């Protein structure tokens, strides 16, 4: 799973290409959560929007050379496959 938030998120678009040469792009699940609350800070800290995936991560993938088809794979096809209700084969 590639998490598109948190303090280390800017390096995540560079993590994703490692899956492609191995034929594993269809196994990547992108996650996103603002996760902004910090105990002990006034008001829980600075609020972080829930749009980093759309405002920064996708454009970073494009800048890294990902095609529209590959971005569609990561943002539509992979989540659809991961959350599809079905009987899955038991692993040996």
pLDDT for res 11: 56
CA dist., res. 79 & res. 29, Å (int): 6
Position 70 confidence tier, pLDDT thresholds 50, 70, 90: very high
* Sign of the CA dihedral with 33 first, then 62, 81, and 2 last: negative
DSSP 67-78: -HHHHHIIIIIH
Q: Does residue 79 have a pLDDT over 90?
A: yes
* Average pLDDT of the segment spanning 26-32: 84
pLDDT for res 51: 82
Q: Does residue 56 have a pLDDT over 90?
A: no
Residue 63: enclosing H or E segment and its boundaries?
helix 58-63
Q: Does residue 72 have a pLDDT over 70?
A: yes
């Amino acid at each position: 799973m590639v998490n598109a938030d948190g303090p280390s998120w800017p390096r995540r678009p560079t993590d994703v290409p490692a899956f492609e040469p191995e034929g594993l792009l269809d196994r990547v699940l992108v996650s996103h959560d603002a996760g902004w609350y910090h105990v002990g800070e006034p008001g829980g800290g600075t609020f972080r929007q829930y749009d980093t995936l759309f405002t920064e991560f996708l454009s970073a993938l494009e800048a890294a050379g990902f095609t529209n088809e590959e971005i569609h794979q990561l943002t539509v096809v992979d989540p659809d496959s991961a959350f599809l209700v079905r009987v899955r084969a038991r692993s040996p």
